[in-house]
Amino acid sequence: MKTLLAVVLVCGMFALGVAGIATAAGGGGGDGARSSAPVKPEDPQYGQGVKAIKAGKYAEAITLLDGVVARDGTNADAYNWLAYATRKNGDPAKAIPIYEKALTLDSKHRGAHEYIGEAYLMLGDLVKAKEHLATLNSLCTFSCSEYRDLKKSIEVYEKNGGKSKPAASR
């Protein structure tokens, strides 16, 4: 009886030790992020800016997103949306450095690669657009919408000899 009790105690302690190791190693699934880490709240103007873009109010979105990036210069998504609104508002040349800032912050930002490629097409720079298509090809394991959309824009551009460029506002 004492032997059985000793075995049960040893097994229990072993199980607790393994569970402790799994917890210390970040076990339990998920993306590896610590669940106790504080979540940074979204800037309300960011959401308003995206909403303005979706409503086709690009000038309004630019004002809102300028404020967001002024407060948080590390927000690649905000820079991407700011550049998108700038391009859609008719200034693809001004959008390029804003997309580049987004890509400096997040070199794998698929949306920024797609949209900067479209901006380059608007400016007649097929070579630069294709560079971003190649980057998307390497980022998208089994294709992705950003790759397919930019590829389609490039194909239309090439088919029409550069006469058909992505519209500022579509």
| CATH code of the domain covering residue 102 | 1.25.40.10
How much of the chain is in helix, strand and coil states, percent to nearest 5? 70, 0, 30
- Report the distance separating Cα 156 and Cα 122, nearest Å: 12
Pair 57, 125 in one domain: yes
Pair 139, 67 in one domain: yes
Answer whether residue 81 is part of any domain.
yes
Pair 35, 52 in one domain: no
pLDDT at residue 129, rounded to an integer: 97
Structure tokens of 87?
A: 């391009």
The tens place of each residue's pLDDT in the chain, 170 residues long, gives 555 444 444 444 444 443 343 333 333 333 233 334 455 678 999 999 999 999 999 999 999 999 999 999 999 999 999 999 999 999 999 999 999 999 999 999 999 999 999 999 999 999 999 999 999 999 998 889 999 999 999 999 999 888 766 766 54
Domain count, the chain: 2
pLDDT at residue 12, rounded to an integer: 46
The answer to whether the beta carbons of residues 141 and 127 sit under 8 Å apart is no
Q: Let me know if 30 is exposed, middle or buried by CB neighbors in 10 A (0-12, 13-18, 19+).
A: exposed
